[in-house]
Amino acid sequence: MTAHQCLRTFISISEKKASSKSSIMLGQAIINAVIPTVVTHTLNYKFSGENISKEDSTLSILEEDIKTLVMLPNTVPENQKKMILSVILPTLTAMLDTPPFDNTLSPIHTVTILHLLALATTMPQVFKSTVAELPEHVRAKLEASVRYSVVLSQQIQQEQKQQELQRKTTYTEDIKQPTIHLKTNFSNFS
């Protein structure tokens, strides 16, 4: 994880406008040299054939790879973001489970879709135009995954709201019900 944080720091050098020209060139050289390796390393998780569980430490390393890829569009000028996304989106889409989905999504899919949704919300116009230009099979898989994730999160939110409402209703019913306490000891009335 430390290596990824260092890598992201080096990559971010190229985005700092106040940096010297040599610092910017160093950041861009690191991007050009390391990103193909990060892409390959990321894809190896999906296609290695290993089953990765939610508790597996490998999943946190994969997430660091994804974070590194997702930060790349923020390090380039606006006119190059689409080009960077055209590499990142197919890579991350390959990490997703194949539709149709059931209730058992792989941990790799779960981690990946969270970062894809974050990327889509941080730069919606560039994301949308890049997705429109992806090959049909990649676009279909990505769109189906995003739709499923959004619907699933809406269902979860709806269930949480219903549970909260039910708890509030039960709580208020418990409070509002009158209680009668009868004395059963009449010794004081002799």
The mean per-residue pLDDT over the stretch 95-104 comes to: 87
Using alpha carbons, select from 11, 38, 45 the residue that is nearest to residue 27: 11
SS3 sequence of 113-126? HHHHHHHHHHCHHH
DSSP H helices in 14-123: 21-47, 57-71, 81-94, 107-122
Residue 144: the pLDDT is 94
Distance, C-alpha 17 to centroid of its chain:
28
Question: pLDDT confidence of 10, banded at 50, 70, 90?
Answer: confident
pLDDT (0 to 100) of residue 65: 93
pLDDT the model gives residue 82 = 94
pLDDT band at 174 (very low <50, low <70, confident <90, very high): low
Most confidently predicted of 11-20, 135-144, 179-188: 135-144
Which of 93, 49, 43 minimizes the C-alpha distance to 65? 43
* Whole-angstrom distance, CA of residue 151 vs CA of residue 84: 28
Answer yes or no: is pLDDT of 18 > 60: no
116, pLDDT greater than 70 = yes
Does pLDDT of 124 surpass 90? yes
Mean pLDDT of 48-75: 85
Using only C-alpha atoms, the chain has a radius of gyration, in whole angstroms, of: 26
Confidence of residue 103 (pLDDT cuts 50, 70, 90): confident
Integer Cα distance of 85 and 4 in angstroms: 20
pLDDT at 92 over 90: yes
Average pLDDT, stretch 82-90? 93
- In angstroms, the CA 79 to CA 76 distance is 8
